[in-house]
Chains A and B, each alone.
Chain A
């Protein structure tokens, strides 16, 4: 039963969507499936929250490495959850807009979450600079091509590239960095991206068929193997 029921569900739902996609009269089925998917996705979010709490509680109780950070995570999680769910300090009460300006939820989001999130992503610039200084070497032919292409893309992605090669005469404008950047993006990159996309699509189709027909059962878990 552990194996048959998930397989049957996968088979029925999967083929329903495939058939509905290719037959307009059955379009309603696809729409309903999309609604079911949304409902299930909401439960997945609850599951995610529960999982976060469980993992961090275990970390704290067992005093695992960096367990103090788990406390910060849980305090932050429950604080935002409570002020968001119960709309604490919201002038509109429980029927008010959750992120109405001036509410604690708005303040936490705008003045804590947004800057912290942006900072985390921006830290990449520092690591990229450090790594490029220490490791980005023209060690062989492939690495040299990569290095040159990456440099052109980086220069072309900012006005610095335009400024650097503005002196090149019009008859040789193909060698201006913005034009080289455009060529790299719209020719070699395009060809590579298309090849990757087609490859992925073929792989997804074959894997999906294996799942729908029950050949591939790893998604069911260890009992399904």
Chain B
């Protein structure tokens, strides 16, 4: 609790110093870049020690993913594609961990794969984090029976296309080298028609767009997305046309998902940092524009013609 109040005190002091920044900016002496960096560093770091619960609006995009998973009967097969690498992990890893925990708690079978080389490694991290959760550990999900990691396959959307005929063609064995036919969870799984839901976590190409275009459109799979905040706007056309049943966009989407499944975790903590960082950026944008308009007015008055028409 002491950490919380120290962090709050730091933020109050930092907030007050913004007046100094505003005065300097108005005087035409903008602060140095490194000072801006200090403000952002504090805005990102201090909220990690705060015990605040951020109010989150419920969005249909996230709620539809939760509803779909809840409505699936226990034992349903969920395919999760990890199409990102560590660069995007701060945004996507919390939502992946929350999703896997939720899937396990609903007693679904989880099949993991990746179209990005490091995706399956991120999946292993998410699985380990999920298994550390006492309520998941209690269920004791077993590798090969309750979940499997098929690993990475090169070929982008061609992999999805190949999976439309037979998963085995694209993944003859899992990440640990076990032959496809010898993995219990995959018995009876030929193609997308044997999978109840596909969840994609992506940060670029190949990613959610390719899954919609091939798995959803061509093979009729039910696809939900989880993307970085930058990629999320590109997914709205697919949401509106129901080609994508739901979307978790960035840290906000992840935090909302955590809240909806009553599993508050990293996303809700990191969202506070994002909230403070966004607020700081907005404050700097406002300061910059105040200074800009003042300087424009000053320039206009300087350039104004003097009486008698002599400038």
Contacts and interface: CB of A to CB of B under 8 A. Distances in A.
A211 interface: no
A157 B89 contact: no
B233 A185 contact: yes
Interface string B285-300: 1011100110000000
B292 A137 contact: yes
Interface string A83-121: 000000000000101010100000001100111111011
A160 B89 contact: no
Contact of B158 (A34, A116, A120, A182): A34
Chain A interface extent, by class: 35 or more
B124 to A, nearest CB: 6
Interface in A121-149: 121-122, 125-126, 128-130, 132-139, 147
A133 B36 contact: yes
A118 B87 contact: yes
Interface string A135-171: 1111100000001000100110111101100100000
A27 B87 CA distance: 37
A35 B288 CA distance: 54
Contacts of A113: 86
**Main secondary structure on A side of the interface with B:** helix
Contacts of B232: 185
A125 B141 CA distance: 38
Nearest to A190: B236
B282 A130 contact: no
A139 B296 CA distance: 10
Nearest to B124: A99
Given A28-B165, A38-B158, A38-B159, A118 B284 contact: no
B39 interface: yes
Interface stretch (B54-62, B100-108, B192-200): B54-62
Nearest to B122: A114
Interface string B259-298: 0000000000001001101111110110111001100000
Interface in B155-200: 155-156, 158-159, 161-162, 165-166, 169-170, 175-177
The 3 closest A-B pairs by CB, nearest first: A117-B86, A41-B154, A159-B54
